Amino acid sequence: MIFFWVLYYFISILICFCLYKIFPNKILAFLVTSFFAGILFSVWFLEPGSRNLAPIISIIFLENTIIQNNGFSRLARPLFAMIFLISLLLSIFYFIKKFLFKRK
Return the closest-CA partner of residue 8 out of 55, 63, 52, 45. Answer: 55
pLDDT digits (tens, 9 = 90+) for 86-102: 888 888 888 888 888 77
pLDDT digits (tens, 9 = 90+) for 24-72: 988 888 888 888 998 899 998 887 788 888 998 888 888 778 756 667 7
Our CA dihedral for 63, 33, 80, 4, rounded to 10 degrees, sits at: 50
- Return d(Cα 85, Cα 62) in angstroms, integer: 25
- Return d(Cα 16, Cα 71) in angstroms, integer: 27
